[in-house]
């Protein structure tokens, strides 16, 4: 330890009286996930103070949504989370349907559920890959990125686009399943299940991961609730809360969702949580495909390009791979939303928890800490 | 830690790559060989294609477009002296959401399975001229057609919008 570079650096800093210097971690840092940054005040390699530096994402989603028609916003909302776009579409459409007081057909609910779970798979693969890359295991990241592409191919067959699907619209979904889609999906699910053994060997049983992540960013059971963490991060601290079970939407009331919780609350537990939920998601898609009913895929709401939503307000929440996505939609009875407020899952961890965890942390651990909490900056900058 | 039981000679299997053709391609020349159209989804939302005989120039596509990518261009006059307008799609703005296809009342506007759009630049152009040139060329004009390979379209199915 005595001759390690970080120790030497802090010694030099002490000797030369260079007490505190500023380091911009992001937006142009390879360990940063998007247009976001932390201004770190450091002594040597140890962080003293952290200042989140948001505002690089220029879109201003919430304000922009007030200037577009109800249906036009569907092309905009998926951009709030690039890795996991479908929860945004479903939450926005569910909020509109709540104000309209309509119930969509069962088949549409199942189709939405399948896209949501496929999106969760692709996002988990990206998240695990980011975690692997943050500690230098690029082989795992490359394999996971290649496997994610198989799911993107399936999305292309189902919706016509690879990344931003724009699949849900108020009243249902846009397309029915394509010919041969179900067989292709089963094939990919089998492939991913086989791959899990390889992921375990490469990543989750790897001593490097265990050494780097054990004890990093510990969140206690009470703190997780206090800071407003949701999703896998909350469940990894021992709180059995899942929106799919506690406030079910889409087809989740018909499906038996198993909530996985773990005690522990550190970065390693969160990494293993994602891996366990990945396996459960594969089984959930299989169950959804088996129980999917036939029927209509869309409710006739008249001309959607001239859709007028009656006066009212609604909140809809959806469990994404990172946590709870909530849309609070207010309508004044016009052609455009009066106000849309987005609750992103990364905001509490990225802004508040960072102030608590990052001080006294070494600079090498920041990227791994961010990847373990699945911080996706566009939710912060909406 | 090992990934299964592999032979000690397993690194030699890489030698077979010496006799294979490279995966990388010379992009503009080999484009069709590498990206076979069969791989693209039958409902792929690619570049637009417009049937000018069917298109009535109503401008619904322009009105629904979330990103203001469609502009109605006057291409002539009819017998009554009224302007005939057809849509021009600017791919610098288009997000390929496909709402213009959903809203089209005559089903003339469709999306093709083509997804590669290349603009030839002239070497003698200055940097400023080149930007303007690409801006103008990066659009689907009414006289261009990609009608042979249709992807996303509402067709005979029930209309989604409108």
pLDDT in tens, A154-192: 999 899 899 999 999 999 998 888 888 899 999 999 999
The overall average pLDDT reported for chain B is 80
ipTM, two decimals? 0.84
- Distances, alpha carbon B36 to alpha carbons A162, A378, B39, B153, in Å: 17, 35, 6, 21
Order across the sheet with B139-140: list the strands: B70-77, B83-90, B139-140
Least Cα distance to A132 among A367, A378, A377, A375 occurs for A367
pLDDT in tens, B13-22: 888 888 888 7
The overall average pLDDT reported for chain A is 90
Residue A276: pLDDT band (50, 70, 90) is very high
Taking the C-alpha atoms of residue A196 and residue B146, their distance in angstroms, rounded to an integer, is 43
Taking the C-alpha atoms of residue B162 and residue B155, their distance in angstroms, rounded to an integer, is 14
Residue B1: pLDDT band (50, 70, 90) is very low
A340 neighbors A327 (Cβ within 8 angstroms): yes
Give the DSSP H/E element, type plus range, for residue A181.
helix A181-199
A311 pLDDT more than 90: yes
A73, A75, A160 member nearest B152 (Cβ): A160
pLDDT at B28: 64
Domain A61-379 classification at class level: mainly alpha
* Domain limits, chain B: 43-151
A329 neighbors A337 (Cβ within 8 angstroms): yes
List CB contacts (< 8 A) between B158 and chain A.
298
Structure tokens at A115: 């896209």
Residue B54: pLDDT band (50, 70, 90) is confident
Q: Is A68 on the interface with B (CB under 8 A)?
A: yes
Task: Please give the average per-residue pLDDT across B96-106, as a whole number.
Answer: 89
What is the crossing angle of helices A365-372 and A267-291, to 10°?
A: 30
Candidates 3.40.630.10, 3.30.230.70, 1.10.4100.10, 3.30.70.20; correct CATH number of B43-151? 3.30.70.20
* Domain limits, chain A: 5-53, 61-379
Taking the C-alpha atoms of residue A188 and residue A23, their distance in angstroms, rounded to an integer, is 43
- Residues of chain B that touch chain A, judged by Cβ-Cβ distance less than 8 Å: 1, 3, 40-45, 60, 63-64, 66-67, 95-99, 102-103, 111, 151-152, 158, 160-162
Give the DSSP H/E element, type plus range, for residue A354.
helix A354-357
B42, B64, B152 member nearest A305 (Cβ): B64
Residues 6+ apart with CB under 8 A from B120: none
- The CA-CA-CA angle for residues A197, A201, A206, to 5°, reads 150
Secondary structure of residue A226 in the 3-state scheme: helix
Taking the C-alpha atoms of residue B142 and residue A136, their distance in angstroms, rounded to an integer, is 51
């Amino acid at each position: 330890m005595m001759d390690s570079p970080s120790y030497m650096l802090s010694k030099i800093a002490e000797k030369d009286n260079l007490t505190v210097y500023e380091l911009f971690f992001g937006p142009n840092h390879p360990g940063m996930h998007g247009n976001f940054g932390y201004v770190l005040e450091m002594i040597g390699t140890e962080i003293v103070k952290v200042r989140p530096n948001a505002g690089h994402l220029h879109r201003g989603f919430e304000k922009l949504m007030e200037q577009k028609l109800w249906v036009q916003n569907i092309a905009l909302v998926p951009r709030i989370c690039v890795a996991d776009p479908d929860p945004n579409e479903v939450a926005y459409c569910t909020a509109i349907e709540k104000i309209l007081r309509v119930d969509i057909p069962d088949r549409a609910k199942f189709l939405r559920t399948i896209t949501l779970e496929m999106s969760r798979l692709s996002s988990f693969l990206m998240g695990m890959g980011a975690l692997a890359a943050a500690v230098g295991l690029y082989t795992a990241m490359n394999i996971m990125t290649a496997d994610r592409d198989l799911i993107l191919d399936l999305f292309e067959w189902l919706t016509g686009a690879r990344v931003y699907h724009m699949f849900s619209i108020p009243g249902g979904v846009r397309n029915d399943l394509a010919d041969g889609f179900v067989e292709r999906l089963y094939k990919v699910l089998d492939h991913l299940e086989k791959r899990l053994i390889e992921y375990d060997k490469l990543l989750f049983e790897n001593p490097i991961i265990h050494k780097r992540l054990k004890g990093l960013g510990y969140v206690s059971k009470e703190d997780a609730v206090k800071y407003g963490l949701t999703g896998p991060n909350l469940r990894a601290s021992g709180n059995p809360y899942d929106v799919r079970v506690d406030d079910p939407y889409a087809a989740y009331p018909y499906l038996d969702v198993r909530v996985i919780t773990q005690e522990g609350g550190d970065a390693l537990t969160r990494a293993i949580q994602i891996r366990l939920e990945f396996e459960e998601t594969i089984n959930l898609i299989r169950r959804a495909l088996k129980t999917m009913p036939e029927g209509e895929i869309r409710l006739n709401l008249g001309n959607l390009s001239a859709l007028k939503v009656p006066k009212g307000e609604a909140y809809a929440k959806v469990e994404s791979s990172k946590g709870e996505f909530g849309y609070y939609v207010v309508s004044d009875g016009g052609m455009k939303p009066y106000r849309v407020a987005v609750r992103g899952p990364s905001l509490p961890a990225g802004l508040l928890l960072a102030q608590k965890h990052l001080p006294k942390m070494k600079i090498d651990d920041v990227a791994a800490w961010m990847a373990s909490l699945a911080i996706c900056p566009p939710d912060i900058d909406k | 830690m090992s990934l299964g039981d592999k032979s000690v000679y397993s690194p030699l299997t890489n030698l077979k790559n010496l006799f294979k053709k490279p995966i990388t391609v010379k992009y503009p020349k080999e484009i069709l060989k590498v990206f076979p159209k069969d791989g693209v989804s039958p409902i792929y939302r690619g570049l637009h294609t417009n049937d000018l005989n069917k298109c009535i120039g109503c401008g619904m596509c322009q009105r629904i477009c979330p990103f203001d990518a469609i502009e109605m261009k006057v291409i002539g006059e009819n017998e009554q002296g009224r302007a005939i307008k057809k849509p021009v799609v600017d791919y610098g703005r288009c997000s390929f959401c496909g709402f213009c296809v959903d809203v089209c009342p005559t089903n003339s506007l469709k999306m093709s399975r083509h997804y590669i759009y290349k603009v030839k630049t002239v070497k003698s152009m200055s940097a400023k001229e080149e930007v303007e040139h690409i801006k103008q060329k990066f659009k689907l004009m009414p006289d261009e057609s990609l009608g042979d390979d249709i992807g996303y379209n509402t067709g005979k199915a029930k209309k989604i919008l409108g």
